Amino acid sequence: MTDVRLRRGRASLALSFCAQGIAFALLVTRIPAIQDQYGISDGLLPAFLAGVPILAGVGSVTTEHLVKRVAPSVALRWVQPLVLLALLGVAAGGRMWQAAVSLAVFGLAVGGLDACMNMLAISLQRAYGRSIILGFHAAFSLGGIVGASLAWVGAHWDLSLVVSYLPVVLVLLPLCLAGSRWYVDGEAAVTPKVASDGSDGSESDAAGGKPVAFRLLLPLCLVMAFAYIGDSTVSNWSAKYLQDVLGSSEQLSTVPYNVYMVTTLLGRAAGDHGVRRFGAVAVVRAGAVLASAGFAVVAVAPGPWVGMLGFTMLGFGLCVIVPQTYAAAGRLFPHASDAAIARLNVFNYVGYLFGSPLVGGVGGAWSYRGAMLIPMVLVLLTLVYARSFGAEGARYGGGHERPRTVDVG
């Protein structure tokens, strides 16, 4: 019965990740249409775009305190519909203040949503006794691909935002509410036991069951920010770079981000197996090296096809870092994982907020080829903090998997 409950919880949480990927992609890929609908000037648009990640950080911090009073599953059950309704609000308005309010609600809710989803993902991973978190983030990547495809259909057929968004919300809203019945708060089902390698699968000695110490969490926060600087570089600058620097056609310039999303999905789908086989530290190191090499290839690419090879390497490299950073925070603070994840999640938005302006500023002042070296170096710095992802021999699975009968009771 417990295994059935965990499987249902895993499936419902994967649906939540997928729905979030769809909603986020629908928003960010239709920004030009949103700008036109509300008459937002080019000078004012950056303020609107910056406001979303800033408020998302506020939402994540607020969620840390909220889950002290209610379970993360309860918070997630209500915050996800709020994200979807805020998305619909963005589509339905016509005045500037309506756009501001809807985007503010979206940002606050997204921060809480991201934090709650990853809290439950870490709890379920602890219950399973093996790495499963990359699978949840693969569901997010799949949702991103679906959302971007739906946005393309809306733009291609010149559909209004309401016509594009309303059917999606009408489908996802009841699905998410129905699926929320099976969310599992892991601490209710899990009592961590000693694993076969003599550890409890976490770094309880480092945390000691004490409140989250920022100095211990800081290396993971930096890794999270570095990863999202790399991710925002791809999402915001890949098309411009391919067209303006590498001389591709406008049509071809749209390909790198699509390739990046697909490789992110594939890498995450297979990534849990890699963690079970080689351990989190090895997987994160390999991802950091591959992503940095991808940025190097992009920086020196003589033409668009070599540039796309670099962006392909980036997708496979970056995709494993963020999920494993959440997992490492959960292991580092096994008795305060919810608080650790909420604080760590803030640096998701820090990286996203500063990554694009940083690359754009350096590119405009110097060169875009040179600008690609900044995320290359930052992602490579992940190697300095790799040991924060666990002891070299610690892993989920691969001979170290804890028996489920012991793990979940």
Q: Would you list the domain boundaries of the chain?
A: 1-190, 194-402
What's this model's pTM, rounded to 2 decimal places?
Answer: 0.89
* pLDDT, tens digit, 9 for 90 and up, residues 94-138: 999 999 999 999 999 999 999 999 999 999 999 999 999 999 999
- Give the C-alpha separation, 384 to 372, whole Å: 20
Distance set, CA 374 to CA 52, 58, 120, 205, 318 (Å) = 24, 27, 33, 35, 15
Task: List b or e across 20-45, with b for residues whose CB sees 16 or more CB atoms inside 10 angstroms.
Answer: bbbbbbbbbbbeebbbebbebeeeee
CATH number of the domain located at residue range(s) 194-402 in this protein: 1.20.1250.20
Q: Is the pLDDT of residue 200 over 50?
A: no
Which pLDDT value is given to residue 79?
A: 98
> What are phi and psi for residue 332, nearest 5 degrees?
-70, -35
CATH class of 1-190: mainly alpha
Which pLDDT value is given to residue 405?
A: 33
Q: Is the pLDDT of residue 278 over 80?
A: yes
Over its C-alpha atoms, the chain yields an Rg (Å, rounded) of 21
* Ranges 189-193, 243-247, 315-319: which has the least confidence: 189-193
pLDDT classification of 1: cutoffs 50, 70, 90 = very low
Mean pLDDT along residues 333-361: 94
Which pLDDT value is given to residue 257?
A: 87
Enter the tokens of residue 204. 């309880």
Residues 6+ apart with CB under 8 A from 110: 20, 24, 52, 56, 59, 83
* pLDDT, tens digit, 9 for 90 and up, residues 35-76: 999 999 988 988 998 999 999 999 999 999 999 999 999 999
Fold equal for 1-190 and 194-402: yes
* Ranges 147-151, 203-207, 208-212: which has the least confidence: 203-207
Which pLDDT value is given to residue 191?
A: 43
Residues 6+ apart with CB under 8 A from 207: 213, 216, 332, 333, 334, 335, 336
Which pLDDT value is given to residue 120?
A: 97
Instruction: Using a pLDDT cut of 90, give the percent of the chain over it.
Output: 77
